[in-house]
Structure 1
Amino acid sequence: MAMDSNWSNSCHYDHNVTFFYNLVAKKINVVWTPRDILVIGLGLTVSVIVMLANLMVMVAIFVNRRFHFPIYYLLGNMAAADLFAGIAYANLMLNTGPRTSSLTKEQWYIRGALIDISLTASVANLLAVAMERHQTIFTMQLHSKMTKRRVVLLIIGIWAVGIIMGLVPSLFWNCECDLSDCSTVAPLYSRRFLIFWAVLNLLTFFIMMAMYTRIFIYVRYQSQLASQHTSEMWHSQAVINLMKIISIVLGAFVICWTPGLVTLLLDGLLGAASHANDYEKYCLVFAECNSLVNPIIYSLRDDEMRRTFKCILCCLCGRGADPQRDAPSLEIDSPLPEEGRRKSEDQALCLDTDNKEDSWTVPGV
């Protein structure tokens, strides 16, 4: 018994990935099965769609000056995290099944780190959005007066936290020196790390939901007061519309990622008794679908974003190759009648990418 205990607590850096999979009885297919090929084909297809859709969101926020505010830059960074999630999932699809046994430990850790980084960046970004909304709503502003420099530093900080959390398991918090602590879902990860990571993310979810609940109660109260003053109606409605979009994004994220996080938590607490391997792949696919949901939410809920998407697609198809001949160059926020202005903006949007504002100001409506 003493020898077994010493062997279990000694470090096993010389063992390969297959050794750890066999240790926790997680099967690695020897040959490609029809099911593997189907899963990989669908997974890669979803990944490509996810990357293209979120790239369009990022381009839309860049080209439309109406989106040049801290909240939209953070939503753009959210799209970047979703795009990165598509890359991470594609990498997972290309390095799964029989290829798992051929991975070095460094390659296996990188495969897992990409998923960790994308989730951590998304959670940190949503928390930053919640804090930004909390600050602006309670100071009666539509958009934050945060400087561009601070927004850039915040975005850099979000990705720095994501990278650190992605590197933690490979650097020191793994089970190579404690085989009894190996996870059944991620055989080289420490079960204690999975508990920490899952609890941290779930706790962040609850904090954000509490913040948005408080914001909604306050916004509803202010809307009732504003209904008596026509001059305040636009501001109140704009706040509500933006809050609805952000809340739906948060809700979709929580719904898609919670099953996976609960699975990791159960695996960390119960180990093999949790039978997490029976459903962890389905949870991962469900989580990946979240990266495709956000562009759909923007398209359905935000008229301005939808019109910008339409303009981008028209430009890509060649219809906007020479828009100077079809419409005059217009400022995005020119005071035209509403319907006519929207038609003109659709035509002129692609022309208006060079005029960058130096300060955060609310565009005319």
Structure 2
Amino acid sequence: MKSVCLVGVSHVVQSILPLPKMSSQNHCHYDKQMGFFYNISNQKSETWEFGHLIALRVVGCIFCLFILVANVMVITAVITNNRFHYPFYYLVANLAASDFLAGIAYVYLMFNTGSVSHTLTLQQYFLRQGLLDTSLSASLANLLVIALERYISVMNWKVHSNLTKRRVTLLIALVWGISVFMGAVPNLGWNCICSIEQCSMLAPIFSRSYLIFWSVFNLVVFLIMVAIYIRIYAYVRKKTTLLNSHATGSLKRKKTPIKLIKTVMTVLGVFVICWTPGLVVLLLDGLKCERCNLLTFKHWFLLLAILNSVLNPIIYSYKDEEMWATIKNLLRCVCTGTRRQRSSKANKRSDTTLSTEMNTSLRDNEQLKPNQTL
């Protein structure tokens, strides 16, 4: 009797409140490999891979090797040179760390693409895409934090902000926490494994709604950072013009804020140029643009993204003479095996130069008005 009553109650509940989750789980495909999802998205094994995949891997591995080595050199330069022990350079080192992660992600991608993609398990694919998404999120978050740090320092007309090491450490931890979370979002449930009709084409187990959110969010952050740097650059140009008309101090000292800002603006510009096309393609895929022929551009935009991580350490070295001198010194240390002696000499020279510039700055500040000091 009780069982009959329970069955009757369950029928009434289902008629009033249908349970879509229970029915949708019957159509989940957690036991499938990626080939199942690629076939649904009409992505077949590429025929060009047998002739070109080896060349693609060789070129990609060369780029990735440069990315790994160059960014390790940038991080080591920041650690070993006392003149880089400021919030701005700590954040630059963290940006280099995100590029280092991107190099690892690209290496993993190179050997898990083409026909191999169809044999991947769901977790292997989530790992492949998660590494890329985490490195992109880390780069984007780092650039945003650097933009805010530059804004604070420039608006106070200082070369470096007053952020303590503890606050910088917390910012870096926050950047990586957010980045790891953003890279893990699809694996946490925002996917189409249980709703095949919502699957995207470029990322077959990512839902189109996620691609729309991901691309729009990143593009909006791009616009915010560009607006910040336009505001900073306009303010610096105006302030520098006023200082030039009222003081005759050290020209190098007065150009330092502009040089730092130009370096970061160049990095930001390259980042936007290299990543915007790929984000636009993901947005079109999320909007289900069937006439856009998106698969044709997928590999080219991936190489463009790799190029961004290649160019960043080159920009640091080209735009910052002190950074390039430190990196050359480190390379000589590796070759000669006298790293400690050369590092101590470099730090002594750096301390002497820094004290000289500080004395020059103090003499110049006496000639400036209180509200025009650097």
Q: Same fold by TM-score, threshold 0.5 exceeded?
A: yes
TM bin (shorter chain): 0.7 to 0.9
Q: Paired residue for 1:134, among 134, 148, 151?
A: 151
- 1:1-365 aligned at under 5 Å gives the runs 10-29=27-46, 33-228=50-245, 229-231=247-249, 233-318=251-336, 320=338, 323=341, 330=348, 332-335=350-353
- Aligned AA for 2:332? C
- On the 8 A contact 2:32/2:121 being kept in 1, the answer is no
CA distance 1:124–1:329, change in 2 (3 Å) = closer
Inter-partner Cα distance in structure 1 for 2:102 and 2:354: 41
Q: Displacement of 1:234 after TM fit?
A: 4.6
- Aligned AA for 1:60? A
Where 2:204 maps in the other structure, the secondary structure is coil
Inter-partner Cα distance in structure 2 for 1:329 and 1:20: 56
Q: Residues 293-348 of structure 1, C-alpha deviation per residue, up to 9 Å, x if partnerless?
A: 01111121111011001100100111635748x9798352215999xxxxxxxxxx
Q: How many aligned positions are there?
A: 332
Q: Displacement of 1:191 after TM fit?
A: 0.9
Q: Which moved more, 1:329-338 or 1:67-76?
A: 329-338
Q: Residues 19-69 of structure 1, C-alpha deviation per residue, up to 9 Å, x if partnerless?
A: 100001011248950211111111111111111111111111111111110
Q: Residues 227-274 of structure 1, C-alpha deviation per residue, up to 9 Å, x if partnerless?
A: 021247554311011111111011010011111111111111124433
- On the 8 A contact 1:175/1:190 being kept in 2, the answer is yes
Inter-partner Cα distance in structure 2 for 1:277 and 1:249: 28
Where 1:332 maps in the other structure, the secondary structure is helix
Q: Residues 90-120 of structure 1, C-alpha deviation per residue, up to 9 Å, x if partnerless?
A: 0000111222222111011100000000000
Where 2:287 maps in the other structure, the secondary structure is helix
- On the 8 A contact 2:91/2:142 being kept in 1, the answer is yes
Inter-partner Cα distance in structure 2 for 1:57 and 1:9: 51
Where 1:317 maps in the other structure, the secondary structure is helix
Where 1:27 maps in the other structure, the secondary structure is coil
- On the 8 A contact 1:184/1:272 being kept in 2, the answer is no
CA distance 1:7–1:54, change in 2 (3 Å) = same
Where 1:188 maps in the other structure, the secondary structure is coil
- On the 8 A contact 1:50/1:86 being kept in 2, the answer is yes
Where 1:291 maps in the other structure, the secondary structure is helix
Where 1:309 maps in the other structure, the secondary structure is helix
- Aligned AA for 2:107? A
- On the 8 A contact 1:9/1:178 being kept in 2, the answer is no
Q: Which residue of 2 aligns with 1:352?
A: none
Inter-partner Cα distance in structure 2 for 1:328 and 1:69: 17
- Aligned AA for 2:333? C
CA RMSD of aligned residues (A): 2.4
Where 1:312 maps in the other structure, the secondary structure is helix
Where 1:186 maps in the other structure, the secondary structure is coil
Identity %: 43
- On the 8 A contact 1:183/1:271 being kept in 2, the answer is no
TM-score (norm 1): 0.86
- On the 8 A contact 1:8/1:179 being kept in 2, the answer is no
Q: Displacement of 1:203 after TM fit?
A: 0.4
Structure 1's unaligned 5+ residue stretches are 1-5, 339-365
Higher helix share: 2
- On the 8 A contact 1:227/1:233 being kept in 2, the answer is no
Inter-partner Cα distance in structure 2 for 1:149 and 1:159: 16
- On the 8 A contact 1:226/1:232 being kept in 2, the answer is no
Where 1:26 maps in the other structure, the secondary structure is coil
Inter-partner Cα distance in structure 1 for 2:316 and 2:76: 13
